[in-house]
Amino acid sequence: MWLFMAPSVAVMALVLLYPFGSALYYSFTSYYLGGTNTHFVGLDNYIALLSEQRFWADMLTTMIIVLCSVGLQFVVGLAVALMLYALSGGVRVISLLNFLPHVVTPVVAGIFLKWMFVGRWGLLDATLIGLNIFPPDWLGDPLWAKFSVIMADTWKFMPFLMLVLYAGLQSFDTSLLEAAQIDGATPWQRLRHVILPMMKPLILFVLAIRMMDAFRFFDLVYVLTNGGPGTATETITLYTYQLAFRMLEIGRASALGVLTLLVVAGMIVGMILLMQRGGREAI
């Protein structure tokens, strides 16, 4: 059996483990692509980052965007999934149509959404002005820009949650739901005490996937705001990108990447612990 795995393991060692190892190594050096003098600096990169205001501000921005957008996606996705579940016909067409935003190339999605939010000519502004409402500066105001990014992420990833949660609902044993209905449970009680507990492992699983991906969030913000205005929507990933590929500070950027990895890993370990408490049948 190991023979079957050997080629893949060899390739992954070359294209995944080796690069990861070198990034880890860079993070302890003063590697700068513009210069020649690289030496070992121990934890200096990490200490410098952790004592930097921009790092903490970006971490906070990332957390806000991740938590708000994943939360919003989940609520909307679950609502749509429940509606689809209650619907008797046309489910396939409706779910496929709603799934489209998810498969659209992320950069293209960013461009489509930019035409919604952009000042004056964007559809939102055009509509609101038509209704005599003065629109906010969707992408130029620090607070509204965060809102726009959250909405963009929600638009892109809600379909994912919708589809997976709908599949979860379908795999249900309906007898429990019917029993609850006969016992006179209101729809809300059925959701709260029957559906959600039964779906808990699946919910935690998809939320974990979404959190990992939302943390790496790059394409959409890059196109939509590129971190602006100022650094109001600058996520950790965008900052790493700036450090590595604009300032060529490879050592510092690698350290930032490793820190991001640690934060994500911490989050996921937390979710796995939750999952194990809530039943082991998740995967």
Partner 1 sequence: MRRKARMQAILLATLILFTFINLIPIIWGFLISIKQPADAFAIPPRLIFEPTAEFHIDVWVNRGFLSFLLNSAIIAAATVLISVPLGTLAAYGLARTRTKHAGKLLFGLLTIRMFPQILLAIPFFVMARWLGMIDTFPMMVMAMVAMNQPFTIWLMRSFFVDVPVELDEAAMIDGCNRWQAFIRIILPAVRPGLGVTALFSMLLAYNEFLFALILTGQHTKTLPVAIAEFGGEDINYWSISAAGAIGIMLPAVIFTLLVQRHLIRGLTFGAVKG
Measured CA to CA in angstroms, residue 153 lies from 134, 158, 196, 240, 277 at distances of 25, 8, 24, 20, 30
Phi, psi of 141 (to 5 degrees): -95, 130
In the bound state with partner 1, the residue whose beta carbon lies nearer, of 33 and 191, is 33
CB of 42 to partner 1, least distance (A): 19
Closest CB to partner 1 among residues 205, 232: 205
Q: Cβ closer to partner 1: 60 or 167?
A: 167
φ, ψ for residue 209, nearest 5 deg:
-60, -45
Give me the sign of the Cα torsion angle 29, 34, 35, 36: positive
**And the tokens for 215?**
């943390």
Is 68 or 264 the residue whose CB approaches partner 1 more closely?
264
Interatomic CA distance for residues 238 and 219, integer angstroms? 9
Cβ nearer to partner 1, comparing 78 with 84: 84
Question: In terms of CB distance, is 6 or 67 closer to partner 1?
Answer: 6
- Nearest distance from residue 100's CB to partner 1, in Å? 6
Tell me how crowded residue 259 is: count the other CB atoms within 10 A of its CB. 19
Closest CA to 257 of 249, 15, 85, 96: 249
Instruction: For residue 144, count CB atoms less than 10 angstroms from its CB and return exposed for 0-12, middle for 13-18, buried for 19 or more.
Output: middle
Name the minimum Å distance from CB 55 to partner 1.
15
Shortest Å, Cβ 159 to partner 1: 8
CB of 149 to partner 1, least distance (A): 15
**Rounded to an integer, what distance in angstroms lies between the CA atom of residue 54 and that of residue 57?**
5
Minimum distance from residue 93 beta carbon to partner 1 (Å): 9
